[in-house]
Amino acid sequence: MTWTRRLALIGTGGALAAATALAGAGGATAATLTHHRHHHATRFATPPILIKKFGRLADGIPQVTSPTPTGLPPSAIASVYNLSGLSPTSGAGAGQIIAIVDAYNDPNALSDLNTFNSEYGYATLSTCTSLSQSGSCFEVDEPEGTPSNNSDWAVEESLDIEWAHAEAPGAKIVLVEAKSNSDANLFGAVTAANNLGATEVSMSWAGSEFSGETSDDSTYFTHSGTLYTASAGDGGHESLYPAASPDIIAVGGTTLNGCSGTSCSGFTSETAWSDSGGGISTYETLPSYQSSYTGPVYSTSTISALTGGKRGIPDVSFDANPSTGVSIYDSTAYDGQSGWFTVGGTSVGAPNWAGILAAGAAAGDTALQGHANIYSSGYSTNLRDITSGTNGSCGTDCTAGTGYDLVTGLGSPIDYP
C-alpha cells in the first residue's frame, strides 16, 4: 500500500482533469526511505490541498498566482463563522503552542507568513527565542535534520501556518518539518510536536487506512494536554488516516454559498462540499464519545447504527471548496509562479480548527475542547449543522443531513470562543 503525493489544480469551471501524482515527492522513493514502524510497508502521505487556477500562461501552464490576493481573507471567514479570534488585535490563543506538522522544507516560511500578516493587519512575527517566552512567535523544528525543499509542500506549509496564526494571533506557531512525506518521518514529526509541548497539532495530510493503525493511535495521538486535528481528504466518500483515528478531530469540507473572490458579503448558506472526505473507518471501532452522543443523526437514531459500530468520519467541518477558497502567500516557486494563491481542500480546515481550539483554550471556553465536549453539548452551542449536500453517490453515507452525518460530522464552528 502506497500513499501518493497529489496536488490538484482547480479552475473556475471545475476540476482540472489531470492532477500531478508523485510518489515520494522531492526525489525520495520507497527504496531510499528508512522505515521503522511495526514492519508495515512504507507509505507516503498526501496533503489535501487544491489550488485554484485562473486560466493559462502563454506557455500553457495553468496560472495559479496573482500579485494581490484573490481568495477569502480572514475578515470574510470571520464574518461567516463569527470567530472572535480572527481579528489582528484579538490576542486569541495567548499561551498556546500550535504545532503544524508537514513534510519537507519551506525555505521562506517566516517571511511569507509576515507578508500575509502585513496584508491583513497582523503584527510581524519574530523567531522564538524560547517556547517559554511571553507573546507570540514562530519557529521551525526539524527533528530528523534539514529536509530538502519541495515547492508542492511549501504551498501547504504556507496555508497551515498563515491560517492557524490568523485564528490565534496570540499563540506560538511551530512548523515541524518531517524529512519526507513517508509515514515514518511524518509520525516522527508528530512525536517531536508532542515533546515540545504543543497544545494543538495540525496535520493537513492523509493516506489510506491500514491494519496497524490502531496501535499508532495510542503511540502518537494521546499526549496529555494536546488536541489533534487532521484533514478528512479531498476524494469524496472515503476514510483516511490519521483522520480516522478516534484520538483526532477529523475535519470535513463545505462550500460557503454566496462567497466569491475576496468577499462573503453575499453569504447565504453553508453546504457540504462535493469532494469532502468522510465515511466509515475500516479498522477503528466506535469511540465512546460517538456511542454516547444523544443528538440527532441523519437518517437513523444513533451513530452506531449509521456506521455499524465503527468510527464515523469526520467530526466537524470547515470551508474547503476552492471556489470559496482562502488566500495564502507563498514565495517558493510553484510551476515557476509565486505570490498570492487561492486554495481549498480539507487542508484548509485542519490548521483553522487548530487555531480555533487554541483561541478557545486561551479564553477558557471548553465547548469545543476535544471530542467529549464537542459530542456532549458543544455541537448545540458552537457548531452550525450542515444539512444538505453530498460527497458521492452512496446514498445516506454520502449525504449531509440534520444532525451527525458522514460528510460534515456535527458541523462547522460558529460564535467561538
Which domains are assigned to the chain?
A: 5-413 (3.40.50.200)
- Alpha carbon distance 273, 50 (integer Å): 13
Query: Would you state the pLDDT for residue 41?
Result: 58
Average pLDDT over residues 375-382: 98
- Alpha carbon distance 281, 247 (integer Å): 13
Q: Are 169 and 90 in contact (CB under 8 A)?
A: yes
Interval 279-289: pLDDT, tens? 999 999 999 99
Residue 359: strand, helix, or coil: helix
pLDDT at residue 375 is higher than 90: yes
Which of 179 and 46 is assigned the larger pLDDT?
Answer: 179
Query: Would you state the pLDDT for residue 4?
Result: 24
Percent of the chain with pLDDT strictly greater than 90: 88
Query: Would you state the pLDDT for residue 18?
Result: 28
Interval 355-372: pLDDT, tens? 999 999 999 999 999 999
- Alpha carbon distance 236, 242 (integer Å): 16
Q: Are 168 and 353 in contact (CB under 8 A)?
A: no
Query: Would you state the pLDDT for residue 29?
Result: 25
Give Cβ neighbours of residue 363 (< 8 Å, ≥ 6 apart): 84, 92, 417
For Cα atoms 151, 73, 319, give the angle at the middle one, nearest 5 degrees: 80
pTM for the structure as a whole: 0.92
Interval 268-317: pLDDT, tens? 999 999 999 999 999 999 999 999 999 999 999 999 999 999 999 999 99
Interval 160-218: pLDDT, tens? 999 999 999 999 999 999 999 999 999 999 999 999 999 999 999 999 999 999 999 99
Go through 275-286 and write b for each residue having 16 or more CB atoms within 10 A of its CB, e for each that does not. Answer: bbbbbbbebbeb
Which pLDDT band, with edges at 50, 70 and 90, does 56 fall under? very high
